[in-house]
Each structure stands twice: as structure tokens, then as C-alpha cells.
Amino acid sequence: MTTPSLILASASPRRRELLARLGIEPARIIAADIDETPRKGELPRAYAQRMAREKAEAVAGGEAHVLAGDTVVAVGRRILPKAEDEATARQCLELLSGRRHRVFSAIALRAPDGTVRERLSETQLRFKRLSEEEIHAYLASGEWHGKAGGYAIQGSAEGLIAWLQGSHSGVVGLPLFETRALLKSAGFPIA
């Protein structure tokens, strides 16, 4: 059996690094260009799943499999934005301070025949109660830029998380347990 070829439908260097932990190097990396606006009333879990699926379907794969993912930070039914400016990052951190929240990390694998397999990781986390000094220092780090919920767990924010139940790699952006299972089921050689 020939080893399938894989396209990673993401420009995220974190997803590529996590995929490498499974011994998988994508043949190509092509960022999916789709509208990522949540639909009115769309819940965080459904939104993450839809985004992963739409990204996998948006990238032309030819004879290759296409792997896509999406990570959503949610407080209750509220989807937190990707922080593109400091004010948004501050709002997210103030909302998350001392509270539990959930991170949904969805992945979709589209086969050359068009069939799509999907998995979802759900992680619950709680930030410690953040002081103004801690928020200011984290904002000054710049790690929040472009990150869902205004933080990157793989950076200094990890020291602010008091509790986590679920997948650390899912919070980073690619749940390795679910990704491994998905790739194995598609015939990728993973130990």
C-alpha cells in the first residue's frame, strides 16, 4: 500500500509543529481562505466543526488528503474572537480571569474521493484570577496576537492556567490523540 500524501490546510506553524510530533510532514501547506464569521445563534462546538470541515473542503487536494483544523475558545455559548488588537485581548483576558471556559478543537480530513472524516476535542480550563499587573505583562508579551480568546497556552499564559481537563495540544491548535486516530483510520503510517 502506498503512503497517502497530506496537505495541511493551515498556515499555523503550531499545527505543523504538532503534526511533526506524530511523525507526519505535510507534502504541502495551503491556508484555506474562507469566511470565518459565526452564523447567528451558532454554538461554539458546531462553529468549530463547521470551520474545520469548510477549510478541508476549500483546499484543492487532488490525490492527496487534506487536513484542516479550527480552535474555538468559548465562555458559555459565547465564541471569543481571535485577538487582533490589544483592546480585544484585554477584554478576553478580563472575561476569562478566574473563570472556567472551554476550548473546542475540531479537525477534518478530506480524502481524495471527497469523503470527510471529523473529530472534536473539548478541553475545559480555568485561569487564575488575573491581577492588572499580570494582564498588563501578558499584553506586553504580544503572545496574544491572532490567538483565539486572546491567549496562547504554549507561551507564558500556561503559567496563568490553574486547571485544565482535556487536551493541551487541542488548546494549542491540533488535538494529537484525535488527529492520530483520524490519520491512522485513513491509512497513514503512525506508530
pTM: 0.93
Report pLDDT digits (tens) over 41-91: 999 999 999 999 999 999 987 889 999 999 999 999 999 999 999 999 999
Active site (catalytic) residues: 70
Sign of the torsion formed by the C-alpha atoms of 30, 115, 36 and 168 = negative
Radius of gyration of the chain (CA): 17
- Going along the chain from its start, the domains and CATH numbers come out as 6-185 (3.90.950.10)
Residues 158-178: pLDDT tens digits? 999 999 999 999 999 999 999
**pLDDT at residue 1, rounded to an integer:** 45
Q: How far apart are CA 125 and CA 162, in angstroms?
A: 8
In the chain, the percentage of residues whose pLDDT exceeds 70 is: 98
